[in-house]
């Protein structure tokens, strides 16, 4: 069975995060392009890969991985030489997991609350992410000193920086200098440059 990764992708999707990650670890991968207009993501063939019809998805040695946080975590462990995750047993791995999943479980729903407010929203105590203000304040503290885990860039930074850039672009998040500087620092990497040379910026 081949080690090459099949990457199901459209560059105008959240798949951009996984694409950057693939370049960051210098993986051997092939892109399986999915066209929005022809609804390739809802084809019978693709729904066997991801029954939700969401992009991205990744297939490696017969195993399917979906969800950007999972893809980033999987690739960081698959390519330990990239040093994008603290090794198992390192206490820093706890912080790494914290911020990787904070982005998925807190940041994204908070930003959706901002851009698509609910008419009858539950109280913050009933929401897993609490409130928009709590999330933004926590985010600001997390990136105020540079990378999330000491002075070392990890997959958690890649995932978070990608989201911050998008939410600034969509006006869900104020373009505070602390956020813009963090994104710029994270993107100052050969892996990001290889990725963006392929797809271009979305602005």
Pull the structure tokens for residue 141: 């503290």
Task: For the domain made up of 92-189, give the CATH fold.
Answer: Glutathione S-transferase Yfyf (Class Pi); Chain A, domain 2 (1.20.1050)
pLDDT of residue 1: 43
pLDDT of residue 45: 95
| pLDDT tens digit at each of 203 positions of the chain | 458 999 999 988 999 999 999 999 999 999 999 999 999 999 999 999 999 999 999 999 999 999 999 999 999 999 999 999 999 999 999 999 999 999 999 999 888 887 877 666 665 555 556 588 899 999 999 999 899 998 899 999 999 999 999 999 999 999 999 999 999 999 999 999 999 998 877 65
- Rounded distance, CA 146 to CA 149, Å? 9
Tell me the C-alpha to C-alpha distance, in Å, between residue 173 and each of 8, 80, 108, 114, 140: 29, 33, 11, 9, 11
| Helices of type H across 103-176 | 108-115, 132-143, 155-169
pLDDT of residue 149: 94
Check: CATH 3.40.30.10 for 5-83+193-199? Answer: yes
Burial track 167-189 (b if 16+ CB lie within 10 A, e otherwise): bbeeebbeeeebbeebbeebbeb
| Helices of type H across the chain | 15-24, 44-49, 68-78, 92-102, 108-115, 132-143, 155-169, 177-187, 190-199
Give the global pTM: 0.92
Q: Look-up: residue for tokens 């950007």?
A: 68
| Residue among 88, 114, 101 at smallest CA distance from 159 | 101
Domain ranges of the chain: 5-83+193-199, 92-189
């Amino acid at each position: 069975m081949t080690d090459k990764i099949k990457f199901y992708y459209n560059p105008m999707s959240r798949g951009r995060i996984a694409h950057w990650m693939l370049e960051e670890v210098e993986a051997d991968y092939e892109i399986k392009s999915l066209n929005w207009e022809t609804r390739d993501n809802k084809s019978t063939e693709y729904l066997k890969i991801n029954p939700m019809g969401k992009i991205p998805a990744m297939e490696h040695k017969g195993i399917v991985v979906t969800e950007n946080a999972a893809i980033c975590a999987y690739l960081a462990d698959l390519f330990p030489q990239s040093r994008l995750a603290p090794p198992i047993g390192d206490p820093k791995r706890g912080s790494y997991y914290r911020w990787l999943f904070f982005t998925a479980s807190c940041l994204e729903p908070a930003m959706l609350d901002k851009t698509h407010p609910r008419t009858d929203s539950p109280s913050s105590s009933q929401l897993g992410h609490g409130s928009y203000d709590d999330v933004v304040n926590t985010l600001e503290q997390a990136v105020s000193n540079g990378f999330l885990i000491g002075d070392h860039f990890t997959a958690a930074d890649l995932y978070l920086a990608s989201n911050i850039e998008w939410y600034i672009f969509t006006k869900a998040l104020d373009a505070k200098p602390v956020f813009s500087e963090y994104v710029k620092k994270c993107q100052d990497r050969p892996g990001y440059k290889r990725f963006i040379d392929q797809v271009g910026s979305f602005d």
